[in-house]
Structure 1
């Protein structure tokens, strides 16, 4: 009882100052060049100070941390499996074969838009942006290395496509989560998202096509041939070796658990490595843990191939754990509720502003929880559900808006788990963020719908297009 009495409710000023302080610490440390993991840990310290000032018992905070950690465990294990898979796919010749045939078929002029489309389709079929980045995305980066196209641009297209497909896939966890918490039918939710996602996807594709035509004209043919010859000299190249990628897609289509699917892919890829590449079992297991390593004698090829392994994901895993802790502590403090109810909700005068505020709140939650999509979707839905009901707006609009910002903003949070994942798997910096055009375009169409009434419905599912938004 004493702990309950001593606990303070955060005031509006306290919540705003706390939010600014935590974000400022994260931004300053990252801009100073401090390791992202340590920067997020500094955010944890700031969050702990906030809860201490509010008199929140540590046991309550600890309970929430354990709960969040348990929820994050499946994703944690998937990241480990992806590390293993990439290492073995390199050793078994799967990724080298994708790169080899990709260089033969794909013109540099269409590489950027093709990366956007193929990664989108991969995510749509598998329901996972992480899997799309680690498979099709990895191959596209390898192919792009032989061209004059800036790698951040290619990665921006990969991320855009991967999160587009994830957002629209009925197999995706975020798609099911957003529709579930909003109490909207899955396919009603997907239909609603088409009003913002489809036009944004078309605009993004046009932009990526223009950028690809601009940068893709120059290709070092000699360098490309050197890379292809090097791959052929060091691996048995075959279309059969691409089967593990197809297997991952098929497993997802048949809705088998992601961990089971990746586990089967690891087993089959290991067999392929033994049979087609002649690599010993112990060596393959070493590649799965430590990452693939080879010295081809060609400087440009080695960095393309030497990646993967559980250890390559170690920074991501540690950051993931620390970010989960930060998100749990911030949620426990109650400052998110105060920011919503005492600040953002006061600005809501009409339907357009309601959608805008919902988008902003999703961004706030994602930036405070290091790209925690699940937290952003759940917390935002709980915060705004009543307001949407009071303003007679369909739950389909709410569920769509949760994904337009809550799902899509994850890979553009500089200290976020998704961003670190992309950087780790593709071997790039966060310089790709400004090129993830699709992610920035979708909220624009969210507001276009809100203002015009197109793709807006009332609580009885009647169109609001002819009504004032």
Structure 2
């Protein structure tokens, strides 16, 4: 039996519409997406969110906003941003980026560099369980590769984001994977198997597209690229630590200390220089941290005012068949992610209702968990106001909109998810049992 859902209030979604109108609209009209800063657009939309719902006092709504802004997921994300910013800047200051880029250029043909970046991104993210840490670690390296080869920066960043979302969706220690399996009552490894079969074609096609797209970019063969292996070690340490599943906070903190020690050892900077580098790296993430905090507050107000309930009620009212139920679950988590810009929150919000729908329409919990994770992750990797694209764009100093055309993997993940539902693949135990029951009848 389905849980009773409040009808909700569509007007509660107005702040999101205001943001999109300001940010995307101004960019389309002026041809420059830098004209309207994302932070300013969200501050204006938060003012509209506070103005809605006259039945509640302003003090109550401010408290709701503060609760959302101070959500544990938001604060953890801010800490990751701070550590990632410090690590990236210290590693760059001691020459790690230049050495890593030059080493890559010396070993791989230019047309395979971005393919390599995507694969490394997949390994790091699936091991760390965080797309944010992956983007922060690989962003500066990708930027350096783009500058050396002449490849579009947006293309390189698109490959990094794609690799980051691969692991965000599949990692055993990813918040999204844990949330999806817990809400559906299935094992992590079982969900992984079903999920992996669905997205594997997307990853393979992405590799082919990246290789084809970068085929025409070459580096002068006469140029000699110099590098110091010792300055590449912090990135290798992060990669190896990620592969062994080291906690992202320990990984980034250790990376800062390791890169700092190498910088001092090679006389690239002294202790004071290290401290300045850490400070500059943190300062570079200030705007992003503020943005995430404000987005958390706006989302909580949207939920408080009935926006999420409206979405839930609208989607569930359209479900009639098993296949329709699977598409409904996909649409449900997709819309919530578009509204919240947080795939973990989207899964946690949609999960309990999805479980009820899955039970009523005999959908395997592993398939349901995979649908929740795939569709929340693909959109999270594509929305220009999501933390992933904002972080990547900040590192590369490009507009998130510029990166959209190169987001091969998130788009292909979405397509594979749709096809998996439409065709009914992969077949699960629940599907086989149902088939046997039909044959017996």
**Equivalent position to 2:121, from 112, 115, 119:** 119
8 Å Cα contact 1:450/1:456 also seen in 2: no
Q: Which residue of 2 aligns with 1:294?
A: none
Partners of 2:390 and 2:354 in 1: CA distance:
30
Unaligned runs of 5+ in 2: 27-34
Q: CA deviation at 1:432?
A: 0.8
| Pair 1:159–1:466, CA change in 2 (3 A) | farther
Q: CA deviation at 1:345?
A: 1.3
**Equivalent position to 2:398, from 416, 421, 428:** 428
Partners of 2:79 and 2:65 in 1: CA distance:
20
**Equivalent position to 1:164, from 163, 166, 174:** 166
- Find the residue that maps to 1:412 and give its secondary structure: coil
Give me the CA root mean square deviation: 2.6
8 Å Cα contact 1:88/1:287 also seen in 2: yes
Unaligned runs of 5+ in 1: 1-8, 291-308
Q: Which residue of 1 aligns with 2:323?
A: 352
**TM-score, normalization by structure 2:** 0.88
| Pair 1:74–1:396, CA change in 2 (3 A) | same
| Pair 1:278–1:445, CA change in 2 (3 A) | closer
- Find the residue that maps to 2:251 and give its secondary structure: helix
Q: Which residue of 2 aligns with 1:391?
A: 361
Q: CA deviation at 1:390?
A: 0.5
**Equivalent position to 2:194, from 180, 192, 195:** 192
- Find the residue that maps to 2:381 and give its secondary structure: helix
Residues 183-205 of structure 1: per-residue CA shift (max 9 Å, x gap): 21110111110122111111222
- Find the residue that maps to 1:392 and give its secondary structure: coil
**Equivalent position to 1:23, from 16, 22, 41:** 16
Q: CA deviation at 1:377?
A: 1.0
- Find the residue that maps to 2:173 and give its secondary structure: coil
Partners of 1:464 and 1:136 in 2: CA distance:
46
**Equivalent position to 2:41, from 39, 43, 47:** 39
Q: CA deviation at 1:314?
A: 1.0
- Find the residue that maps to 1:146 and give its secondary structure: helix
- Mapping for residues 11-410 of structure 1, pairs under 5 Å: 14-15=9-10, 17-19=11-13, 21-31=14-24, 32=26, 33-50=35-52, 52-53=53-54, 55=56, 58-59=59-60, 62=63, 65-66=66-67, 69-71=70-72, 72-213=74-215, 215-216=216-217, 218-220=218-220, 225=224, 228=225, 237-290=227-280, 309-341=281-313, 343-369=314-340, 371-410=341-380
Residues 363-417 of structure 1: per-residue CA shift (max 9 Å, x gap): 3222222x21221110111232211110011111221111112123223222222
8 Å Cα contact 1:409/1:439 also seen in 2: yes
Partners of 2:37 and 2:251 in 1: CA distance:
33
Q: CA deviation at 1:140?
A: 2.6
Q: Which residue of 2 aligns with 1:305?
A: none
8 Å Cα contact 2:90/2:274 also seen in 1: yes
| Pair 1:395–1:65, CA change in 2 (3 A) | farther
Q: Which residue of 1 aligns with 2:32?
A: none
Partners of 1:334 and 1:221 in 2: CA distance:
61
8 Å Cα contact 1:200/1:442 also seen in 2: yes
8 Å Cα contact 2:12/2:306 also seen in 1: no
| Pair 1:11–1:177, CA change in 2 (3 A) | closer
Partners of 2:64 and 2:430 in 1: CA distance:
37
8 Å Cα contact 2:181/2:191 also seen in 1: yes
Residues 40-68 of structure 1: per-residue CA shift (max 9 Å, x gap): 12222232233x24547853772574266
8 Å Cα contact 1:138/1:426 also seen in 2: yes
| Pair 1:336–1:276, CA change in 2 (3 A) | same
1:414 aligns with 2:384: yes
- Find the residue that maps to 2:269 and give its secondary structure: coil
| Pair 1:402–1:172, CA change in 2 (3 A) | same
**TM-score, normalization by structure 1:** 0.83
| Pair 1:418–1:277, CA change in 2 (3 A) | same
Partners of 1:463 and 1:157 in 2: CA distance:
40
Q: CA deviation at 1:112?
A: 2.8
Aligned pair count reads 423
- Find the residue that maps to 2:70 and give its secondary structure: helix
